Amino acid sequence: MELRSKSKRLMPLPGGDRRGAPGADAGRHSMRAIGGEGLGGRPFAGGPAIGREPEQCESTQSSQNQNINSPVTPVEDVSQEAPATKPATTKTGKPRVRMQWNDDINTFIMRTYYYITKLETDRTMYCKNLFDRFKLQYPHLNVTAQRIADQRRVILRNKLLSDLAIDNIKKEVRDQLKEEEQNELQSTLHSENAIRSDSYNSSFEDNLPLNLLRTQSDLTISPTSLTPQTLSQTQTRLDPSDTQHVESRNQSDDYIQSVTDMLETALTEYSGSDPTARPRLPRLRGNKKLYQLVDLFNNKILSKFCTADSDINHIHTLIYCSALVICKQLGYKIEPQNTHKHSRRSFKKPAWQVRLEKDIEKLRADIARVTQYITNNERSENLCNKVELIFKKNQLHSSHERNNRRPEEFLDTLKQKLSLKAQRLRRYKKALERKEDNKLFSTNEKVFYRNLGQQNKSERDISEQGDKELPTSEDLKNYWASIWEKDAEYNFEADWIKKEENRFQNIEEMVFDDVNRDDIEMVTRKMKSWKAAGTDGVHSFWYKKFYILHDILGRVISDVIKGNINLPQFLTTGVTFMLPKSKNTKDPSQYRPITCLPTLYKLITSCITNKLNSHIENNKILSEEQKGCRRNHLGCKEQLVIDSIILKHAHKHKRNINITYIDYQKAFDSVPHSWLIRVLQIYKVNPTIITFLESAMSNWKTTLLLNEIRTEEIPIRNGIFQGDSLSPLWFCLAMNPLSALLNDSNNGYKLTHTTSICHLMYMDDIKLFSKSDQAMKNLIEITKTFSKDINMKFGLDKCRTLRIVKGRVNASQNFNINHSFQSMDLGDSYKYLGIQQDKGIHHIKIKKELTQEYFRRINTLCKKHLYSKNLFKAINTFAVPVLTYSFGIIKWTKTDINKLEIRTRTTLTKHNYMHPKSAIQRTTQPHVDLKASNKWLKLGALFPETEGFMIAIQDQIINTRNYKKYILKDPHLITDKCRKCNRQSETIQHITSACPNLTQTDYTHRHNQICNIIHQKLAFKYQLLTGKPLPYYQYTPKPVLESSSHKMYFDRAILTDRTVHNNRPDITLIDKQNKQVYIIDVAVPNTHNLHKTITEKIHKYTELKEEIVKIWQMDKVHIVPLVLSSTGVIPRHLLSALRNLDIPESTYMTMQKAAILNTCRIVRRFLQDDTSSIPNSGNVTHLA
């Protein structure tokens, strides 16, 4: 027992590191007395130490100079005498020394820290980088990375360097960073030779702190570098240990060169090859290394391989090869082009499943034999032998019991083992399913959702199971070739064509402007990064992220559209995946074609679409009845709202109305190419674009894929090549003349004496309205004539007519106009734009159906065992839109919504995703109090000028550089980067709370004024202050206030036993009587960061909370974040926090006013000041 106690006493104290407060050095300053004096500790050892008096430092320095010729100690320049209370040497015989941090070392630490963190805007892995650079400068000093990081905090906390010195260091670093950024920007514009000549110097500078950036002639090794001396702030040197940095620089250069060599090899291999035969590029998961490689290619590599003469083939090959090299660098497997993930693959069971199933099968057989042995008196010799072997193998039931003896005991052991194995198999399968579901959700949400539906489940079974009969390659090709290869023509002599030309003869011809960088960025920004690529396999991610090529891409795309460069054949070749629409999988017509086009082709047509949309909107070409492909419209929902108004009007006023639903048979595949070109000419699209589209259209072709079936290429001679953003807009233009024909017939349903409506269109879905049977016949005849002239046919099985007489459905005779449209009787309904309807919308019935589908999807998702984040994202994406699509169309009352919320929470609780006693507000908790956020407007306590300026800030219409460039389109503005930090885009959010150059000045001033409000309120509430309260902008909080019942700290660190980095809250209120502590911290973020900031504040002080409970022996510690936005938006949490502090809720009005006034001041000063620095903040001039 004695030995055990001794061994325990020799071990470290429980609790790990006992260094005390964060930033404290080796034990001496870990705790301090109340008055600020250090507690009793060992005396200093001769040399000057941080925080000593100047006289002591001078006397010590003189004693050091006397011993300058003494032998060099293991720690150069900072060695001290051994403390008088301890031996002169350690147990290992080494001299006992204590480190001295002088001003030069402290200056170097702060300068290097600000440089590698880019003025504290990026603190990622800064400790390691700071340590590496420190060892490069002072290789003879034996310190750890943590010690250097602690010293940086000591410098700031104890003000070892003056504020003026810190400001000067920041200014020098800021100037250096700005100069390096400008040099880097200029280097990207130089030629290849200039880039290569500068690569050595730039790579060397990128790896050195500011005071090591010297010319090559200065990098010499001094013979005196081995003597104990202190380097001045302006001197640098390299001794033999500095070769470590040179090696790291060479390694960096070698890596860039190796990647460049890989790219050159890939370009040599694939230049001039068929892009459709190249290896497939995989989808990549976003990670830090991926984006580092992308940045490396943008900044160092891609510019070397681009010239002014680069054509579209070279740019495409360069992007492909760059993506290929990055995939190889990340370790991805590159598959050959002929490998398709959609092809049927044999399923192989995992080894654990095979093993468990084999064990279960054997156990069942053993159980059957033992059961037969027990129940059957006539036992065969074979049975007895087998049972005897079973008993021998299963004698042990558990290690804590005696062995099995009776047959019934052996049988029970076997049954328990069977249950165990079966449960293990279920558990493993469940874990595998959970892993696969989450992986599929993360990589391809669309496929995950497709696999959830019943119809899509049958499609998946059809495509994956081999027992379904599929059409042959020839049958598939012949059917779709009969539709696409037929070169149809429109009716050139149709009268309505001339009328349409006359309607638009006075509009100006579309002007074609060259595609530029902004066009490419606008298009790629909207592209989904990993959407299925076309035949070339290059995903849109690479076009989006290789921004250095956007200028060249704009130029080559302009040349292609103008005809200066021929469009490559592979860009007009698609790959069409066939998805079954029914169980009749042998019929080729029962498949839905989904075409994937090359990303570069979609990029070209998207640029054309944007320019074409501007021409259409400026000249009001598309009719108001067509809601497809219209920007800033709600599409289907607009049509459904208009339709419901018409039906309600007829029902309310008991009017007669005739309705016809028109459906086309393969509408997109039927429009003749000649009509597509003619309609562009009618609407005066630029001839350059028409010529390009006509040329591209002549080369359209695709290959059909169905599992392992692959057809030959099928040319597209009829219909629109689907798969890009241009095709739906082009189709709407092709259908546009029909609206004018129907409107001119004057056969519509009259809503008022001056307003009538005869049709609604959404793409090819047409709904006709008329006042009588004859008027409806006229409308159908017009539609039929137009459709025949452009070679389109009705899908008669889906066309319906409805006759309503005095608000009631009345079955009418069929309309016989060469086509019989089936009429709807009482009780029949038609699904129009996703909503079932007859004479109106059955709200109760549809609400019931939508509710059932909503909860079916939620239950399906809950059974998939997704991770929490994925589950609620899936619910919001897959289930909630079932309901939201009907909002505004179906009558949902507050009671209905409350019932949905209750049932949703019940469903989540049933699947153990919510606790039965958890707060019901958690699922839909609003985080912003709208009434409180607008209180400052209602009070009217601000000058009109200030009020208007804040509203302009909230509306984001302040004249920032971002606003000038992207909204005002200022041609003289070169960049939208912030005029202060020159790093981020200068948006209003960046100015109000995100510019690093304002953090220590204006933002801190705004923050402190809000702290003043809370501090003064608490001080007077608990009688820590007496007298008359001051205005908050004149009030200066004291660091410590104390009475017999309460104590309050302001911006004062709390000393702790263990190291706690976040130990300095804004306000700490101690209730001595009730033994409670309130940790109060204030923040003023942007509005979109309110909830995130509140969560971060709570987590930030959790460790401090635990330490306070232990050290101060408190009963309870409250963490109270007080957060409001920079524009005065009040979260609900703020009101709750004020109640927790027992402060009047109306205090938020003063806090809101202070935030608004300071934000207005910050923005005004920012816009008026074009310099790179901001003077220290003064008091706010209050306008109200």
Q: What is the 3-state secondary structure (H, E, C) of 83-147?
A: CCCCCCECCCCCECCCCCCCHHHHHHHHHHHHHHCCCCCCCCCHHHHHHHHHHHHCCCCCCCHHH
pLDDT of residue 189 exceeding 80 = no
Grade residue 1151 by pLDDT with cuts at 50, 70 and 90.
very high
Q: How is residue 833 annotated by DSSP?
A: T
Q: Are the CB atoms for 790 and 668 separated by under 8 Å?
A: no
Q: DSSP letter for 997, please.
A: G
Predicted local distance difference test score (pLDDT) of residue 824: 80
Reported as a pLDDT band with limits 50, 70 and 90, residue 33 is: very low
User: Do 490 and 672 form a contact (C-beta atoms < 8 A)?
Assistant: yes
Looking at residue 946, its amino acid is: T
State the pLDDT confidence band at 62, using cuts at 50, 70 and 90.
very low
Q: How many CA atoms lie within 13 A of 313 on its CB side?
A: 13
Q: Kindly report, residue by residue over 1029-1048, the tens digit of the pLDDT.
A: 999 999 999 999 999 999 99
Q: Is residue 249 predicted with pLDDT exceeding 70? A: no
Banded model confidence at residue 418, pLDDT cuts 50, 70, 90: very high
Strand partners, 710: 705
pLDDT tens digits along 641-685: 999 899 888 888 888 898 999 999 888 888 999 999 999 999 999
Helix axes 517-526, 599-619, angle to 10 degrees: 100
User: ∠719-723-727 over CA atoms, to 5°?
Assistant: 50
What's the CA gap between 1015 and 1128, in Å, rounded? 20
Three-class SS of 681-739: HHCCCCHHHHHHHHHHHCCCEEEEEECCEECCCEECCECCCCCCCHHHHHHHHHHHHHH
Name the nearest CA neighbour of 998 among 984, 981, 977.
981
pLDDT at 716: 92
Whether 52 shows a pLDDT value over 80: the answer reads no
Place of tokens 């399923």: 347
Structural tokens at position 815: 């309309």
Q: What is the mean pLDDT of the chain?
A: 81
Structure tokens at 233: 């702030």
Tell me the C-alpha distance between 290 and 286, whole Å: 7
Please, which residues have CB within 8 angstroms of residue 166's CB and are 6 or more apart in sequence? 110, 156
Model pLDDT, residue 93: 55
Q: What is the mean pLDDT of residues 590-606?
A: 91
Amino acid 945: pLDDT = 84
- Contact present, 574 and 639 (Cβ < 8 Å): no
Q: Above 50 in pLDDT, residue 508?
A: yes
Q: Residue 678: what pLDDT?
A: 94
DSSP H or E segment with residue 78: none
Pairwise CA distance, residues 1152 & 1161, whole Å: 14
pLDDT digits (tens, 9 = 90+) for 522-542: 999 989 888 888 889 899 999
C-beta separation of 1086 from 1020 below 8 A: no
835-843: average pLDDT:
84
Note whether 319 and 549 are within 8 A (CB). Answer: yes
Residue 1174: per-residue pLDDT: 40
pLDDT band at residue 1101 under the 50/70/90 scheme: very high
Task: Give the separation between CA 760 and CA 769, rounded to whole angstroms.
Answer: 8
What's the confidence (pLDDT) of residue 347? 62
Greater confidence (862 vs 584) lies with 862
Give the pLDDT of residue 299.
92
Provide, rounded to the nearest whole percent, the portion of the chain with pLDDT above 70: 81
pLDDT band of 819, cuts 50, 70, 90: low
What's the confidence (pLDDT) of residue 830? 85
Q: What is the pLDDT of residues 346-403, one digit of tens each?
A: 468 899 999 999 999 999 999 999 999 998 888 888 999 999 999 999 888 888 888 8
Reduced to 3 states (helix: H, G, I; strand: E, B; else coil), residue 582 is coil
Give the torsion through C-alpha atoms of 140, 141, 145, 150, to 10 deg. Answer: -160
Predicted pLDDT of residue 348: 80
Determine the pLDDT at residue 120. 83
Confidence at 29, pLDDT banded by 50, 70, 90: very low
Question: Residues 861, 863, 868, 870: is their CA dihedral positive or negative?
Answer: negative
Residue 309: its pLDDT value, please? 82
Q: Give pLDDT, residue 921.
A: 63
**Span of 11-25, 816-830, 1101-1115, 1156-1170 with lowest mean pLDDT:** 11-25
With contact defined as beta carbons under 8 Å apart, do 1136 and 1143 qualify? no
- Residue 656, CA distances (Å) to 659, 810, 1115 in order: 10, 10, 78
- Residue 363's pLDDT is 94
CB 668 within 8 A of CB 628: no
Top-confidence residue, 597 or 232: 597
Using DSSP, state whether 50 is helix, strand or coil. Answer: coil
Domain locations along the chain: 103-217, 351-423, 627-671+738-840, 843-922, 933-1168
Where residue 146 falls among pLDDT bands split at 50, 70, 90?
Answer: confident
Question: Which residue has 């220290």 as its token pair?
Answer: 1176
Instruction: Decide if pLDDT at 1176 tops 90.
Output: no
546 CB-contact burial (10 Å; exposed 0-12 / middle 13-18 / buried 19+): buried
Is pLDDT at 31 greater than 50 in this prediction? no
Mean pLDDT lowest among 38-42, 251-255, 959-963 = 38-42
DSSP secondary structure of 466-508: TTS----HHHHHHHHHHHHS------TT-HHHHHHHHHTTTSP
pLDDT score for 925: 61
Query: What would the two tokens of residue 320 be?
Result: 């492909």
Average pLDDT over residues 280-301: 90
What CA–CA distance (Å, rounded) separates 564 from 554? 14
- The kind and range of the H/E element at 524 are helix 517-526
- Quick one: average pLDDT of 226-251? 37
Using CA atoms, how far apart are residues 211 and 112, in angstroms rounded to an integer?
8
Q: Which helix (H) or strand (E) holds 879?
A: none
The mean pLDDT of 121-139, rounded to a whole number, is 84
Helix, strand, coil share of the chain (percent; to 5): 50, 10, 40
- What pLDDT was estimated at residue 318? 95
- State the CB neighbour count (10 A cutoff) for residue 105: 23
pLDDT greater than 60 at residue 718: yes
Interatomic CA distance for residues 739 and 736, integer angstroms: 6
Length of the chain: 1184
CA dihedral 424, 426, 427, 431 (to 10 degrees): 140
User: What angle is formed at CA 520 by the lines to CA 517 and CA 522, rounded to 5 degrees?
Assistant: 105
Which structure tokens are listed for 686?
A: 């630029």
**Model pLDDT, residue 21:** 37
The Cα diameter of the chain in Å comes to 121
* pLDDT at residue 978, rounded to an integer: 93
> What's the pLDDT tens digit per position in 907-961?
999 998 887 877 676 666 667 888 899 899 888 888 888 888 999 999 898 999 9
d(CA 733, CA 677): 11
Residue 444: the pLDDT is 82
724 pLDDT band, cuts 50/70/90, is: confident
In tens, the pLDDT along 1116-1137 reads 999 999 999 999 999 999 999 9
Burial 459-469 (b: 16+ CB within 10 A, else e): bbebbeeeeee
Reading phi first (left if > 0) and then psi (alpha if -120 to 50, else beta), residue 620 is in left
Quick check: 555 pLDDT over 80? Answer: yes
Residue percentage of the chain with pLDDT more than 90: 45
800-805 vs 820-823, strand pairing mode: parallel
Average pLDDT over residues 234-240: 34
pLDDT given for residue 1083 in this prediction: 96
What pLDDT does residue 98 have?
A: 63
The residues, any chain, with a CB within 8 Å of residue 8's CB and separated by 6 or more, are none
Examine the pLDDT at 245 and tell me if it is beyond 50: no
pLDDT tens digits, one per residue of 69-125: 333 333 333 333 334 344 455 544 555 556 778 888 999 999 999 898 888 877 777
861-884 b/e (C-beta count within 10 Å ≥ 16 → b): bbebbbeeebbeebbeebbbebbe
- State how far the Cα of 749 lies from the Cα of 746, in Å rounded to an integer: 9
Q: 93, exposed or middle or buried, with CB in 10 Å at 0-12, 13-18, 19+?
A: exposed
pLDDT of res. 45? 38
Whether residue 869 is predicted with pLDDT greater than 70 in this model: the reply is: yes
Confidence (pLDDT) at 795? 82
Q: Tell me the per-residue pLDDT of 191-225, one tens digit each, with 9 for 90 and over.
A: 433 333 343 333 333 333 333 333 333 333 333 33
Rg (CA), the chain: 39
Q: What pLDDT sits at residue 842?
A: 84
